[in-house]
C-alpha cells in the first residue's frame, strides 16, 4: 500500500520544519491580535457552492464531494474562508459588532494535478478579518503576510495589488469584458467559452495559453471603478507606502474565487518560477450576506504551506532543529530496569530526552544502540551498580566514565550540560 497520489506523509525528520513555520506564524498572529479558529474538514457542499461561486474552477473541477449515509452532499473543504464565515454566523460572533480577527492552519483538499509544492491534500495558513470596512484592514492583512515572509528570511518578494470594484461599478466593466472577449472567442478554451456570459472575470484568471494570450489587452477594471472604490484603492496604496511595503499594480489580478470585492492581492516569490505565488487574498464584503448573515465587510488571505516550505528549503532558511540533551539508560535485569525507569522519569521531568531498551538487547547491544541513537550520555546499570547504589555515567563525546549515585544522576546531567563544575 502507498499513500494516494497527491498526498504525502510528513515523517519526524521533516515535521520539525512544519513546527518551525507554524511557531513563527502563531507568534506573529499573536502580535497582530489574531485568535486561532479550527473548523471541520468537511462541510455541506452548498456552503462552498454559495461561498466560492458555482462557476469557479474550484467548485466545478476540484472539490472532493460525496453523499454520506444520510443522503447529504458533503465536501472536504477546498479552502477555509467559507468555513470561517459559517462559524462566525453559527456562533453569532457578529452580535458584539466588533472586528473579529481570526487565523487558521490546516489541511485543505482539491482534485488538482500534483506538482512541486502542490498536493491534493495541502496545508494552508490564513487569516480573516470580519467586520472591518477600512482599507487599513487590507493593509494590515498584507503587512502580516509580508512580515511573515520577511521573518522567515525570504527576499525577492513582489506584491501585486488590484481592485476588482464592487457591485455598483463591476457590472459596467463586466459588460466591456464580455464584448472584448466575444471578439476573441475562438482563442478561448471550452470552459471559458461556457462561462463568458456568466462570469467573464474568470477568463482573466484562466491558465490556458489561448486565454492568457487573449487577455493581454483586455480592458482594465481600474478604469471603471466608482468614486468610492477608487478612493479605497488609493487609500490602500497610501497605507502600503507608509508601511514601507513596495507593490506593483496588476489590473489583471482577479483571484480565483467569486467572493472577492475591491482589494485583490498576491505575494509572489520569484525564485519559484512560473508558479511563484505563495500568498493570495483580498476583500470579500458580500460573502457573509451570501451565506445568510448581515452585511459584514471582511478581508483575508491564505498561504500554501507546501509552497512556502519549498521556498524556504530552496534558500536553506530553515534552522537546524535544536537537539535536546539525550541520555540512554542501559539496564541489565529486571531490578536494573526498574531503577532505570525511575531515573528516566526524573530526567524527562527536567526536559531531558531519556531512552531505554525496549527490545530485550544484551548490555553490549544496548551500548551499541546508545551510540547509534546519538546519545550524549549513557547510564549503565547492572548487578554491581545496583549493589553500590550508583551507576556508571559515560560521556559519549569524551569517552570518560564516572560513578554517580542513582539519586544524583539528573542533577549531574543538568550540571554537566550547563557547564557547572
Each residue of 7-34: pLDDT tens digit? 999 999 999 999 999 999 999 999 999 9
Q: Is residue 387 scored above 80 in pLDDT? A: yes
**C-alpha distances in angstroms, 29 versus 96, 105, 147, 158, 327?**
22, 11, 10, 22, 36
Kindly tell me if the per-residue pLDDT of 258 is higher than 70. no
Give backbone dihedrals phi and psi of 101, rounded to 5 degrees, phi first.
Answer: -110, 115
**What is the fold, at CATH topology level, of the domain defined by 12-169+225-314?**
BirA Bifunctional Protein; domain 2 (3.30.930)
CA distance linking residue 292 with residue 294, whole number of Å: 7
Q: What is the CATH number of domain 326-415?
A: 3.40.50.800
% pLDDT > 90, the chain: 71
Question: What pLDDT sits at residue 420?
Answer: 47
328's grid cell: 540512554
Mean pLDDT within 314-329: 92
* Secondary element (H or E) of residue 326: strand 326-331
Higher pLDDT: 184 or 343? It is 343
Residues in the chain, total = 421
Per-residue confidence (pLDDT) for residue 257, from 0 to 100: 60
CA atoms within 13 A on the CB side of 335: 7
- Distance, CA of 222 to CA of 232 (rounded, Å): 12
Q: Where in the chain is the domain with CATH 3.30.930.10?
A: 12-169+225-314
Residues 6+ apart with CB under 8 A from 140: 32, 129
Beta strands at 65-67 and 35-36: parallel, antiparallel or unpaired: unpaired
What is the arithmetic mean of pLDDT over 219-233?
Answer: 93
Q: For cell 529486571, what's the residue? A: 334
Least confident of 191-195, 224-228, 309-313: 191-195
The mean per-residue pLDDT over the stretch 275-287 comes to 91
| Sign, CA torsion 196/282/313/118 | negative
Task: Say what the pTM is.
Answer: 0.86
The span from the CA of 56 to the CA of 170, in Å, is: 18
Segment 361-378 shows an average pLDDT of 95
Dist CA 35 CA 130 (whole Å): 12
SS3 of 24, please?
A: helix
pLDDT digits (tens, 9 = 90+) for 114-160: 877 789 999 999 999 999 999 999 999 999 999 999 999 998 899 99
Residue limits of CATH 3.40.50.800 in the chain:
326-415
In which band, very low, low, confident or very high, does the pLDDT at 419 lie, cut at 50, 70 and 90? low
Per-residue pLDDT reduced to its tens digit, 149-181 = 999 999 889 999 999 998 888 888 889 989 999
Is 263:138 a contact under the CB 8 Å cutoff?
yes
Q: Residue 261: helix, strand or coil by DSSP?
A: strand
Lowest-pLDDT choice from 39-43, 80-84, 176-180, 238-242: 176-180
Using CA atoms, how far apart are residues 353 and 341, in angstroms rounded to an integer? 13
Give the chain's mean pLDDT. Answer: 92
pLDDT of residue 335: 95
Lowest pLDDT segment from 119-123, 270-274, 407-411: 270-274
Amino acid at each position: 500500500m502507498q499513500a494516494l497520489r497527491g498526498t504525502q506523509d510528513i515523517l519526524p525528520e521533516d515535521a520539525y520544519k512544519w513546527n518551525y513555520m507554524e511557531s513563527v506564524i502563531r507568534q506573529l498572529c499573536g502580535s497582530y491580535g489574531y485568535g486561532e479558529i479550527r473548523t471541520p474538514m468537511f462541510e455541506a457542499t452548498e456552503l462552498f457552492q454559495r461561498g466560492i461561486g458555482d462557476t469557479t474552477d474550484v467548485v466545478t473541477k476540484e472539490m472532493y464531494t460525496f453523499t454520506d449515509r444520510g443522503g447529504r452532499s458533503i465536501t472536504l473543504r477546498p479552502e477555509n474562508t467559507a468555513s470561517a464565515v459559517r462559524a462566525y454566523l453559527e456562533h453569532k460572533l457578529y452580535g458584539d459588532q466588533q472586528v473579529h480577527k481570526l487565523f487558521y492552519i490546516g489541511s485543505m483538499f482539491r482534485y488538482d494535478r500534483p506538482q512541486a509544492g502542490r498536493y491534493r491534500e495541502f496545508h494552508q495558513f490564513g487569516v480573516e478579518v470580519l467586520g472591518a470596512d477600512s482599507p487599513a484592514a487590507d493593509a494590515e492583512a498584507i503587512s502580516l503576510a509580508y512580515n511573515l515572509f520577511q521573518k522567515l528570511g525570504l527576499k525577492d518578494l513582489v506584491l501585486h495589488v488590484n481592485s476588482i470594484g464592487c457591485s455598483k461599478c463591476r457590472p459596467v466593466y463586466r459588460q466591456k469584458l464580455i464584448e472584448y472577449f466575444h471578439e476573441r472567442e475562438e482563442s478561448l478554451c471550452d470552459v471559458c467559452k461556457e462561462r463568458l456570459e456568466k462570469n467573464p472575470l474568470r477568463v482573466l484568471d484562466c491558465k490556458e495559453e489561448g486565454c492568457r494570450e487573449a487577455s493581454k489587452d483586455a480592458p482594465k477594471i481600474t478604469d471603471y471603478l466608482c468614486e468610492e472604490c477608487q478612493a479605497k484603492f488609493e487609500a490602500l496604496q497610501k497605507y502600503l507606502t507608509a508601511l514601507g511595503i513596495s507593490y506593483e499594480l496588476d489590473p489583471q489580478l482577479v483571484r480565483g474565487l467569486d467572493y472577492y470585492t475591491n482589494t485583490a492581492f498576491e505575494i509572489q516569490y520569484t525564485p519559484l518560477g512560473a508558479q511563484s505565488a505563495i500568498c493570495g487574498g483580498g476583500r470579500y464584503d458580500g460573502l457573509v450576506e451570501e451565506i445568510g448573515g448581515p452585511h459584514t465587510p471582511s478581508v483575508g488571505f491564505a498561504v500554501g504551506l507546501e509552497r512556502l516550505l519549498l521556498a524556504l528549503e530552496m534558500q536553506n532558511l530553515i534552522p537546524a532543529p535544536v537537539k535536546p540533551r539525550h541520555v540512554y539508560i542501559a539496564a541489565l535485569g529486571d531490578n536494573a530496569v526498574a531503577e532505570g525507569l525511575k531515573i528516566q522519569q526524573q530526567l524527562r521531568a527536567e526536559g531531558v530526552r531519556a531512552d531505554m531498551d525496549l527490545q530485550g538487547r544484551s548490555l553490549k547491544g544496548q551500548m551499541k544502540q546508545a551510540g547509534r541513537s546519538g546519545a550524549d550520555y549513557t547510564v549503565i546499570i547492572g548487578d554491581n551498580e545496583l549493589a553500590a547504589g550508583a551507576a556508571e555515567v559515560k560521556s559519549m563525546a569524551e569517552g570518560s566514565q564516572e560513578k554517580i549515585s542513582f539519586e544524583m544522576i539528573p542533577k549531574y546531567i543538568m550540571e554537566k550540560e550547563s557547564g557547572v563544575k
